[in-house]
């Protein structure tokens, strides 16, 4: 089970966090600080796993971002690397060659995508296309609602209420 | 429009925050934004709810408090439209966790949304529930989720499956409700549903044995077939990951098969073929393939025995281990650790490679490899492996040394074939990384040294050499100091030289040099210095020619700021100066320390208490020096004043421990064992270092005001006092035993001690209360051994010329006291002091030593049939009750 997911920039700034196990706010800050210290300082050729508080943290660096997932001791670390890659590919598909700035300004969209890939700390969907389709459908729903709200007839009906 | 509503867009806010150059600037921007959001929240401004929450999430991610946004989430979730709900649920998952009570308020909205007609809204609700559900919510909403496992859209079914995992983890009792529907999910075609369905089954099997049984019976074959289909499926671009169709599904299926096959031969049989196929056919040039192989190997290791498959698995691990990729090597080491229980021979074959991994530049790999080496060690390879590890200790990273040292020590202790080897290895470790060695390890080393009587000379010479080179390794210094104190003469006389030793000439003053350097070295802590003092005392006896020099060194510590050292140096100085006659007896070599009881003690969960009790039990019956259980450790536990030392008899051990003295020579006049023992107590406490009996039970303490209110001085003195109190009147010869002790302590003044004895016998009586008509006096006594409680005998005398009838005495005490009143001797008090009433009170002072007694009293009686009431407070109780 994935206990939490962190996206940390090379400077140690948090870009996205998702907690599937309960951590209090204070604890979260501590965890992030501790792990970013451990992970950012590791050399480039070392393995992608660090042992931490009886868990394993699997991390992978994509450009300036570190994707980190904390899993149980007996989870398959290599698979977690695949899951991270899966997530990155879908982000890439959605944003079109994703970069850190995309994730900063559209962090909520990154979360929406994540929620279609992971849930309750487990993988939800192995098809990138399905995830993309689901996200698009929901984005369309939002757009439709916005359009309706901006339409003249809606404004009139609101005004005459 | 509201002037305070937040007009900046989310994008603008993020830009503003990113533009900040300092943390203070950022805080200012965030504070301003938070203020406008708050204003907008309190205005119930609907237009910007959406935007506000998005901003709050960003602010939250930066680590600022955002609790005031929690209710906004709930409002948005309760709104009818999809966009509001979408952001509301996102906020809920980000800003709250399952432990917040606000979460309970959302249960109702969740329930409605789980039944919504819009499947995307159902999806949002399931996602929120799956990510942050608490046990209560899980219980409340389980029926909805169960129903959704059968929903028409597969994307909802898969979410419901993962949501069920959260529910059964929170409330395992609910597992049985999900078993049927979970098993049904395994027959689906949609990969997302299969993926989550398999995961749900795996988790069900973990929480419920019934579910495991059910799924094993009904689904094993189906799962094997499913895995076969996936493995042999043609290329499907949608699920393809570097040439493999859906590795995620592969892995989950293998994991579930592992759970089903574990401990069940039939199920294991059923999956043999497919496992063999996966293990042999999967491509291992990409990470995805390796992930599957890794999972497959683990499944093969866990299911019931099939040697053919295991060979296959071990070969895969061998390939992994020689891989260049660090990730693959890491998982191989991880896997070998599990394989070692199945086939340790096969793992032994890779020993050399594993040993190389201990020296890897990657900390994660090093750590794994070290754990593995630890498991690999046996009687046959221990010498080889230890040598390698100790060699590596020299060059390893500082942060790795701690782990490495602990493991080496543990290996050496566990498998040492002979004592000399053990001592050699330990001394090497101490020289390289002495500061990383734990206390119990070097304590054990001393036990072993003490037991190896033929190696004493060898060891002390080895230590002498080692300590010259590595002065900074504190633990090495301690062991050396101890050994020199004990066996210093062997160092000088070259006693018991072994063939392998190089000859060495050490003079007496060289030996003292070592101790002098150690006691003066800036890194030496209290324990080391204290050990040095004892060693010096011992050497002063063994090397008469250096006696004066030693005395000088000891005297230098007279002014030490550490009370313990100061006191010891005064005492030891006094022993050297004035007590030549008992010095040699005091400084005798320690008796051999008992190995078996020490190891028991180490293993015990409450080591200190348990074995010191044991130790005293062993020695009590005859009360004479016999090597007892506790000694060594007590000697070494120099600063453990946390262990409640049970009784003065405990001290008995100490003395032998510390000085190895059979006191009977020193106290030969004291005829009986009894006296001997109490004599021992005092000496012993006198010499024991820093071990303060926490529950010393002597009232004499308060009488002795030496102005040194510390534990240590009290311990010494209470020990001293124990000589007198513990020596019962039935021992007329007690004085004989007593006198040498008092002498010893002449610096502390025996007169006080005597006074203390008197005090103990009787506290002065007081007039507790006096009025025109009545006088109350109190006498005090204490029961020996119960410091806290005092017996008070109250005497009432009538000063008037009239008889008092119906006399009642009442008393009240503050909370830290407990009061027990015995019945009064009478309720009539004769006139003019013609008689008296006595009444006994027992007071227990739980704050003994900190607070003194105080009591409020009320006396009621009838004088000529008129009620009279007198009240007062007694606060003039003698000090120290």
pLDDT tens for each residue of A36-80:
999 999 888 889 999 899 899 999 999 999 999 999 998 999 999
In DSSP terms, which residues pair with B820 in a beta bridge? Answer: B842
Could you say which residues from 11 to 70 on chain B have a Cβ atom under 8 Å away from some Cβ of chain A?
Answer: 11, 14, 18, 54, 57-58, 61-63, 65
B829: which DSSP letter?
A: B
Residue spans of beta strands (DSSP E) within chain A = 2-9, 14-19, 49-52, 55-62, 65-71, 118-119, 122-123
Q: Is B166 on the interface with A (CB under 8 A)?
A: yes
The per-residue pLDDT for range B96-121, each reduced to its tens digit, is 877 777 788 888 899 999 999 999 99
Task: Name the 3-class secondary structure at B691.
Answer: coil
- Bigger pLDDT: B708 or B520? B520
CA angle B48–B54–B57, rounded 5-degree value: 140
How many residues comprise chain B?
A: 881
Which of B61, B98, B363 minimises the CB distance to A17? Answer: B61
pLDDT above 80: residue B314: yes
Per-residue confidence band for B850, with pLDDT thresholds at 50, 70 and 90: confident
Contacts of A134 in chain B (CB under 8 A): 123, 155
User: What is the structure's pLDDT at A123?
Assistant: 94
d(CA B608, CA B637): 9
Arithmetic mean of pLDDT, B201-227: 91
Q: Name which of A19, A47, A83 to mutate to probe chain B: the one with the most chain B Cβ atoms within 10 A of its Cβ.
A: A47
d(CA B79, CA B74): 9
CA angle B412–B413–B418, rounded 5-degree value: 80
Per-residue confidence band for B404, with pLDDT thresholds at 50, 70 and 90: confident
- Region of poorest pLDDT, from A41-45, B366-370, B739-743, B781-785: B739-743
Residue B56: both structure tokens together: 């709050």
pLDDT above 80: residue B558: yes
Instruction: Name the one residue in this structure whose structure tokens are 């487990």.
Output: A122
User: What is the structure's pLDDT at B819?
Assistant: 85
User: What is the structure's pLDDT at A135?
Assistant: 94
The per-residue pLDDT for range B124-150, each reduced to its tens digit, is 999 999 998 889 899 999 999 999 999
Which of B127, B239, B364 minimises the CB distance to A127? Answer: B239
Per-residue confidence band for A161, with pLDDT thresholds at 50, 70 and 90: low
Q: Is B251 on the interface with A (CB under 8 A)?
A: yes
Arithmetic mean of pLDDT, B213-236: 89
User: What is the structure's pLDDT at B603?
Assistant: 64
How close is the nearest chain B Cα to the Cα of A102, in Å?
A: 11
Contacts of A18 in chain B (CB under 8 A): 93, 131
Residues in CB range of B446: below 8 A, 6 or more apart? B479, B482, B483, B593, B632, B636
Measured on CA atoms in the order B533, B538, B544, B545, is the torsion positive or negative?
negative
Arithmetic mean of pLDDT, B792-808: 85
Which of B11, B57, B327 minimises the CB distance to A47? Answer: B327
Check: CB of residue B543 under 8 Å from CB of residue B512: yes
Residue B507: both structure tokens together: 């003079």
pLDDT above 60: residue B587: yes
User: What is the structure's pLDDT at B862?
Assistant: 85
Which of A76, A130, A146 minimises the CB distance to B294? Answer: A76
Which of B14, B54, B248 minimises the CB distance to A126? Answer: B248
pLDDT above 60: residue B619: no
Q: Do B166 and A120 touch (CB under 8 A)?
A: yes
Arithmetic mean of pLDDT, B723-738: 38
- Region of poorest pLDDT, from A120-124, B252-256, B270-274, B768-772: B768-772
Alpha carbon separation from A32 to A8, A46, A101, B62 (Å, rounded):
9, 21, 20, 11
User: What is the structure's pLDDT at B870?
Assistant: 85
Alpha carbon separation from B811 to B551, B614, B758 (Å, rounded):
59, 44, 29
The per-residue pLDDT for range B161-194, each reduced to its tens digit, is 999 999 999 999 999 899 999 999 998 889 999 9
- Bigger pLDDT: B653 or B433? B433
B217: Cα within 13 Å, side-chain hemisphere: 7
User: What is the structure's pLDDT at B709?
Assistant: 37
Q: Is B330 on the interface with A (CB under 8 A)?
A: yes
- Bigger pLDDT: B721 or B358? B358
d(CA A2, CA A84): 11
Task: Name the 3-class secondary structure at B3.
Answer: coil
Arithmetic mean of pLDDT, B277-283: 88
User: What is the structure's pLDDT at B688?
Assistant: 42
User: What is the structure's pLDDT at B425?
Assistant: 85
Per-residue confidence band for B617, with pLDDT thresholds at 50, 70 and 90: very low
B209: which DSSP letter?
A: H
Measured on CA atoms in the order A62, A134, B200, B306, is the torsion positive or negative?
negative
Q: Do B86 and A112 touch (CB under 8 A)?
A: yes
d(CA B781, CA B849): 16
Contacts of B290 in chain A (CB under 8 A): 78
CB count, 10 Å around CB of B590? Answer: 21
pLDDT above 50: residue B610: no
Could you say which residues from 7 to 66 on chain A have a Cβ atom under 8 Å away from some Cβ of chain B?
Answer: 14-20, 22-25, 29, 43, 45-51
Q: Is B463 on the interface with A (CB under 8 A)?
A: no
Which of A16, A29, A123 minimises the CB distance to B195? Answer: A123
The per-residue pLDDT for range B469-518, each reduced to its tens digit, is 877 888 888 888 888 888 888 888 777 777 777 777 778 888 888 888 88
Could you say which residues from 125 to 154 on chain A have a Cβ atom under 8 Å away from some Cβ of chain B?
Answer: 125-130, 134, 137-138, 141-142, 145-146
Q: Is B228 on the interface with A (CB under 8 A)?
A: no
pLDDT above 80: residue A25: yes
How close is the nearest chain B Cα to the Cα of A116, in Å?
A: 8
3-state helix, strand, coil in chain A (%, to 5): 50, 25, 25
Alpha carbon separation from B703 to B40, B707, B818 (Å, rounded):
72, 11, 23
Residue B3: both structure tokens together: 């002037």
Q: Do B291 and A49 touch (CB under 8 A)?
A: no
- Bigger pLDDT: B28 or B546? B28
Task: Name the 3-class secondary structure at B480.
Answer: helix
The per-residue pLDDT for range B256-268, each reduced to its tens digit, is 999 999 888 888 8
In chain B, what is the greatest distance between 2 CA atoms, to the nearest angstrom?
121
User: What is the structure's pLDDT at B604?
Assistant: 54
Q: Is A81 on the interface with B (CB under 8 A)?
A: yes
Task: Name the 3-class secondary structure at A139.
Answer: helix
Sheet containing strand B866-874, edge to edge, reads: B804-812, B855-863, B866-874
3-state helix, strand, coil in chain B (%, to 5): 65, 10, 25
Average pLDDT score, chain B: 77
Contacts of B155 in chain A (CB under 8 A): 130, 134
B267-280 in b/e burial notation, b at 16+ Cβ within 10 A?
A: bbebbbebbbebbe
Q: For residue B400, which of B366, B449, B356 has the smallest C-alpha distance?
A: B366
DSSP string for A33-56? HHHHHHHHTS-TTS-SEEEETTEE
User: What is the structure's pLDDT at B753?
Assistant: 42
Check: CB of residue B80 under 8 Å from CB of residue A145: no
How close is the nearest chain B Cα to the Cα of A44, in Å?
A: 10
Q: What is the pTM of this model?
A: 0.66
User: What is the structure's pLDDT at B762?
Assistant: 64
Residue B351: both structure tokens together: 């020993």
């Amino acid at each position: 089970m994935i206990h939490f997911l962190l996206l940390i920039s090379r400077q140690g700034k948090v870009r996205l966090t998702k907690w599937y196990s309960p951590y209090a706010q204070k604890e979260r800050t501590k965890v992030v600080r501790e792990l970013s210290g451990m992970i950012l300082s590791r050399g480039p050729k070392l393995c992608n796993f660090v042992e931490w508080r009886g868990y394993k943290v699997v991390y992978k660096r994509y450009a300036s971002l570190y994707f980190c997932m904390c899993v149980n001791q007996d989870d398959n670390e290599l698979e977690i690397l695949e899951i991270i890659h899966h997530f990155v590919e879908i982000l890439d598909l959605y944003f079109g060659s994703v970069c850190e700035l995309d994730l900063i300004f559209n962090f909520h969209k990154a979360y929406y995508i994540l929620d279609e890939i992971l849930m309750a700390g487990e993988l939800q969907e192995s098809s990138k296309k399905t995830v993309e389709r689901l996200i698009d459908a929901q984005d369309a729903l939002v757009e439709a609602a916005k359009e309706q709200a901006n339409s003249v007839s809606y404004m009139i009906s609101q005004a005459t209420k | 429009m509201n002037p305070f509503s937040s007009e900046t867009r989310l994008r603008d806010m993020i830009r503003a925050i990113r533009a900040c150059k300092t943390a203070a600037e950022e805080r200012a921007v965030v504070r301003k934004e938070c203020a406008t959001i708050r204003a907008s929240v309190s205005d119930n401004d609907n237009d910007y709810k959406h935007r506000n929450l998005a901003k709050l999430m960003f602010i939250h991610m930066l680590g600022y408090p955002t609790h005031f946004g929690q209710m906004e989430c709930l409002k948005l979730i309760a709104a009818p439209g999809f966009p509001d709900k979408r952001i509301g649920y996102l906020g809920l998952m980000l800003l709250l966790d399952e432990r917040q009570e606000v979460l309970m308020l959302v249960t109702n909205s969740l329930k409605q949304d789980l039944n919504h007609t819009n499947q995307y809204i159902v999806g949002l609700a399931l996602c929120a529930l799956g990510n942050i559900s608490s046990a209560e919510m899980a219980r409340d909403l389980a029926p909805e989720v169960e129903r959704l496992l059968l929903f028409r859209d597969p994307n909802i079914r898969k979410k419901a499956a993962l949501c069920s995992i959260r529910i059964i983890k929170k409330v395992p009792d609910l597992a049985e409700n999900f078993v049927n529907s979970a098993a049904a999910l395994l027959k689906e075609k949609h990969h997302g549903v299969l993926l989550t369905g398999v995961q749900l089954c795996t988790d069900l099997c973990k929480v419920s044995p019934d579910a495991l049984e059910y799924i094993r019976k009904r689904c094993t074959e189906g799962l094997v077939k499913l895995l076969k289909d996936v493995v042999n499926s043609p290329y499907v671009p949608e699920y393809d990951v570097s040439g493999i169709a859906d590795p995620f599904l592969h892995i989950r299926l293998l994991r579930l098969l592992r759970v089903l096959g574990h401990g069940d031969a039939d199920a294991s049989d059923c999956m043999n073929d497919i496992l063999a196929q996966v293990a042999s056919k999967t491509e291992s040039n990409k990470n995805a393939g390796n992930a599957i192989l890794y999972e497959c190997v683990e499944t093969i290791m866990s299911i019931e025995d099939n040697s053919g498959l295991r060979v296959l698995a071990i070969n895969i691990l061998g390939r992994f281990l020689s891989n260049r990729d660090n990730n693959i090597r890491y998982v191989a080491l991880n896997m070998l650790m599990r394989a070692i229980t199945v086939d340790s021979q096969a793992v032994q074959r890779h020993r050399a490679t594993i040993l190389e991994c201990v020296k890897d530049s990657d900390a994660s790999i090093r750590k794994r490899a070290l754990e593995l080496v630890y498991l690999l060690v046996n009687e046959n390879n221990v010498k080889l492996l230890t040598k390698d590890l100790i060699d590596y200790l020299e060059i390893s990273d500082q942060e790795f040394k701690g782990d490495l040292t602990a493991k080496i020590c543990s290996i050496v202790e566990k498998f040492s074939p002979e004592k000399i080897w053990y001592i050699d290895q330990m001394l090497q470790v101490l020289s390289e990384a002495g500061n990383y060695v734990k206390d119990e390890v070097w304590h054990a080393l001393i036990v072993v040294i003490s037991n190896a009587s033929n190696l004493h000379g060898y060891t002390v010479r080895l230590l002498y050499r080692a300590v010259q080179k590595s002065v900074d390794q504190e633990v090495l210094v301690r062991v050396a100091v101890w050994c020199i104190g004990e066996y210093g003469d062997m160092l000088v006389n070259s006693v018991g030289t072994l063939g392998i030793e190089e000859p060495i000439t050490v003079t007496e003053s060289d030996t003292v040099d070592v101790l002098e350097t150690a006691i003066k070295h800036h890194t030496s802590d209290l324990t080391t210095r204290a050990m040095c003092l004892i060693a010096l005392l011992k050497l002063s006896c063994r090397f008469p020619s250096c006696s004066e020099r030693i005395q000088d060194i000891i005297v230098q510590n007279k002014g030490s700021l550490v009370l313990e050292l100061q006191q010891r140096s005064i005492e030891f100085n006094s022993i050297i100066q004035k007590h030549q006659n008992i010095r040699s007896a005091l400084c005798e070599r320690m008796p051999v320390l008992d190995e078996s009881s020490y190891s028991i003690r180490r293993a015990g969960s409450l080591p200190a208490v348990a074995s010191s009790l044991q130790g005293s039990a062993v020695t009590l019956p005859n009360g004479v020096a016999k090597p007892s259980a506790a000694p060594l450790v007590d000697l070494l536990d120099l600063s453990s004043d946390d262990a409640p030392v049970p009784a003065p008899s405990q001290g008995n051990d100490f003395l032998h421990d510390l000085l190895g003295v059979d006191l009977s020579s020193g106290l030969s006049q004291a005829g009986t064992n009894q006296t001997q023992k109490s004599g021992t107590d005092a000496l012993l406490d006198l010499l024991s270092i820093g071990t303060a009996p926490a529950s010393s039970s002597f009232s004499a303490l308060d009488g002795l005001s030496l102005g040194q209110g510390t534990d240590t001085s009290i311990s010494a003195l209470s020990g001293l006092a124990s000589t007198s109190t513990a020596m019962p009147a039935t021992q007329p010869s007690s004085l004989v035993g007593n006198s040498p002790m008092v002498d010893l302590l002449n610096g502390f003044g025996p007169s006080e001690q005597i006074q203390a004895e008197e005090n103990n016998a009787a506290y002065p009586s007081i007039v507790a209360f006096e009025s025109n008509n009545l006088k109350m006096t109190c006498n005090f006594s204490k029961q020996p051994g119960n410091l806290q409680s005092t017996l008070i005998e109250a005497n009432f005398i009538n000063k008037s010329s009239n008889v008092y009838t119906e006399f009642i005495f009442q008393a009240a005490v503050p909370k830290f006291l407990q009061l027990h009143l015995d019945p009064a001797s009478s309720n009539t008090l004769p006139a003019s002091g013609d008689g008296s009433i006595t009444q006994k009170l027992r007071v227990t002072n739980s704050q003994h030593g900190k607070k003194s007694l105080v009591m409020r009293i009320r006396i009621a009686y009838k004088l000529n049939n008129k009620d009279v009431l007198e009240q007062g407070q007694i606060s003039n109780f003698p000090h120290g009750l």
